[in-house]
Amino acid sequence: MNYQAIKAIYIFEMSRMRRTLFQSIVAPVISTTLYFVVFGAAIGSRITEIDGVSYGSFIVPGLIMLSILTESVSNASFGIYFPKFSGTIYEILSAPISFVEITIGYVGAAATKSIIVGTIILLTANLFVSITILHPFWMISFLILTAMSFSLLGFILGIWADNWEKLAIAPTLIITPLAFLGGSFYSISMLPPFWQKITLLNPVVYLISGFRWSFYENADVSVYLSLLMILVFMLICLIIIYYIFRTGYRLRV
């Protein structure tokens, strides 16, 4: 394992975050805080609590997950797409490093940025409502695994995209709607039985449910099923990345 190569890619990607601090950290935190204030004030006045948890506190895990999902995909996809766009991808491919080291460097940096944003949002939300984390270990585990798995997805999308428009499709038209429909602001038990079954086809439901369970022990599905879904999703992404580097798909164009 070439740790020096991993370190070089990781530091380069993290330095980009420092150069674009407002876009990388401040903007998503402000956006999520506005979601919290608007939804908490508008809907919280009508729905006082869900499963014994005040509505303002209930939506905090969903808002953190929403931010983690979008930031992970965006950071990882841009991180690998820009070298393709500028042509420097060939320097990386010709270097004596494996696809494993390339993936760890880019995905590790993207996941780190997302976790930083999620942590800041958690601390910010604590200023508005009372938050209880009953299972800190599981909370951290779900946070890290979700950031890693969706950074892997973003890495795949960054390789697949061949223009800037395609790069923005997934976060805007796929990830965000799935997060909104995945129980970020409500419990799926509040839906009619038919729509509950339909909603269970949304993979984001399992991520949000498991993450919320680590806070309040309230979950729409089993926490072990949530963990299994994350691991399966991560495995699928790893297989796709292996295939991409094995065949050179969208890398050698």
Residue 51 in any domain: the answer is yes
Is this structure's pTM higher than 0.85?
Answer: yes
Residue 87 in any domain: the answer is yes
Provide the domain count of the chain.
1
Q: How confident is the model at residue 44 (pLDDT cuts 50, 70, 90)?
A: low
Residue 253 in any domain: the answer is no
Q: How confident is the model at residue 43 (pLDDT cuts 50, 70, 90)?
A: low
Q: How confident is the model at residue 72 (pLDDT cuts 50, 70, 90)?
A: very high
Q: Classify each residue of 63-98 as buried b or exposed e, where b means 16 or more C-beta atoms within 10 Å of its C-beta.
A: bbbbbbbbbbbbbbbbbbbebbeeeebeebeeeebe
Residue 252 in any domain: the answer is no
Mean pLDDT over the full length of the chain: 86
Range of the domain at 198: 3-247
